[in-house]
Amino acid sequence: MRNRLVFLLTGWLIVLMPFLFWWNTWFGRRLSDKQIASYLRDDKHPRHIQHALVQIGERMNQHDLTVTRWYGELPRLASYQVEEVRNTDAWVMGQDTSVADFHGALRSMLNDPSLNVRGNAALSLVRFGDATGRPQLLELLQPARVVSPQAGTMIDAAKAGTVVREGGTVAKLENGEGNKLEVRSPINGRLREVSAPIGEPLPAGALIATVSPSSTQVWEALRALYLVGQPEDIAAILPYERDLPETPDQVRQQAIETERAIREREK
């Protein structure tokens, strides 16, 4: 009987633990006002801050004016130390274009060290009718560079063509002390090229690989450029008009429409 109980308890824990992890990390779980206020200040759990921001953004889309009580927190989080929080914050501030403090915070985020944060800030600024983030929108159309964060020797790398997630491992280095370091992709996309061969010693900052942006990222950038793009931006748009297997039809059509809109504004 005791063995049977141990077996049943173990099986129950195997089912329960993944559920608890999912429950605590799923941003769709509705938060009370009290929880949102608490989560926004929970520096020990940045995902709690993200969760609260997502909930605020959803309620802003529903024109729920009660969320204005937390508007003062959003510009503060524009400089938060965790990239994922800043990224979500940039998206949320674009949901209400009537707030001058949001506009100013988004402009400052165009200089963020993260490509994703800069891109989200630029996309949100377009909602304000502000084209200041045009260079960052064009940046979203370009392959991302993956560089060595420190000196080391390449010991492993993913193959070109591999689909990678933001934060996914692209390569592994080993420094002179035998410590291994995983080099990660800054964006979602597809590994376009690996520049450094296995076994090659690399200095800090050396180019390791390039990652082509995901179709979602490209589509969002093209939609924004439809509104604020200039004739000099067309060169960056044209590659996405080609009928290629890696270019979804939705992206290709958006690229065509974006070029057409820019040329119409030029007349």
31-140 carries CATH number 3.40.50.12780: no
3-class secondary structure, 210: strand
In what side-by-side order are the strands of the sheet with 207-213?
A: 144-147, 207-213, 189-194, 163-164
The confidence score (pLDDT) of residue 3 equals: 57
Sheet of strand 180-184: strand arrangement: 180-184, 169-174, 152-157, 201-202
Question: Rounded CA gap, 122 and 212, in Å?
Answer: 19
Asked if residues 173 and 181 have their Cβ atoms less than 8 Å apart, the reply is yes
* Cβ count near 201 (within 10 Å): 14
* Alpha-carbon gap, residue 7 to 45, rounded angstroms: 33
pLDDT digits (tens, 9 = 90+) for 49-80: 999 999 999 999 999 999 999 999 999 999 99
3-state helix, strand, coil in the chain (%, to 5): 55, 15, 30
Question: What radius of gyration do the chain's Cα atoms show?
Answer: 22
* pLDDT band at residue 197 using 50, 70 and 90 as cut-offs: confident
From CA 206, how far away is CA 152, in angstroms rounded? 10
How is domain 144-210 classified at the architecture level of CATH? Beta Barrel (2.40)
User: Do 106 and 125 contact (CB within 8 A), yes or no?
Assistant: yes
What is the spatial distance between Cα 24 and Cα 48, in angstroms, rounded to a whole number?
9
pLDDT level of residue 258 (50, 70, 90 thresholds): very high
* Residue-wise pLDDT tens digits, 122-171: 999 999 999 999 999 999 999 999 999 899 999 999 999 999 999 999 99
Residues in contact with 121: Cβ distance below 8 Å, sequence separation at least 6, in sequence order: 90, 106, 107, 109, 110, 112, 133, 136
**Model confidence at 9: pLDDT above 90:** no
In this prediction, what percent of the chain has a pLDDT beyond 90?
78
Q: Look at strands 163-164 and 169-174 and give their pairing.
A: unpaired
Domain ranges of the chain: 31-140, 144-210, 215-266
Handedness of CA 56, 51, 169, 158 (dihedral sign): negative
From the list 217, 195, 216, the residue with the least C-alpha distance to 206 is: 195
Task: Give the count of alpha carbons within 13 A of 103, CB side only.
Answer: 11
